[in-house]
Amino acid sequence: MGLADAAALRPESLVWSVQTKRFNVGPDDPEEEEGAPSSERRKSMKRKMPLPDVAKEYNPVIVAFYAQVLLAAGSFQSTLYYFLLPFDHCEEDPMISLCITVALLGCAAQRQSRGCQRPKF
């Protein structure tokens, strides 16, 4: 999820790793990073493959999938935050609207059940 976010919002921070043969998120300024790699290692980490254009586009499905995981776990307030991010990009998507509604209902039901557990004086 972090790699897709970095590819869409900060593509210059991605570096090609020769060892793992995939893109990794590198530090913004390797000189300021604590434990920064040596200059030889930085040369080997430079991007040798161009980043595909499809990776530079923001994909709200990844964030919505994470929100679904949070919804299944019962973390309704975090779910609302992560569903509102893709809602900003796809306002007319009925599935995202339905999931936001389910999260709001779960949050409301959770508040009522918490209120019932208070001791009455």
How far is it, in rounded angstroms, from Cα 63 to Cα 102? 17
Residue 28 inside a domain? The answer is yes
Q: Do 71 and 29 belong together in one domain? A: no
How far is it, in rounded angstroms, from Cα 102 to Cα 24? 35
- pLDDT at residue number 42: 53
- pLDDT at residue number 49: 64
Residue 100 inside a domain? The answer is yes
Both tokens of residue 73?
Answer: 């776990």
Domains of the chain: total:
2
Q: Do 19 and 49 belong together in one domain? A: yes
Mean pLDDT within 25-52: 56
- pLDDT at residue number 47: 47
Mean pLDDT within 91-120: 79
Mean pLDDT within 23-49: 56
Band of the pLDDT at 53, cuts 50, 70, 90?
A: confident
Q: Do 51 and 96 belong together in one domain? A: no
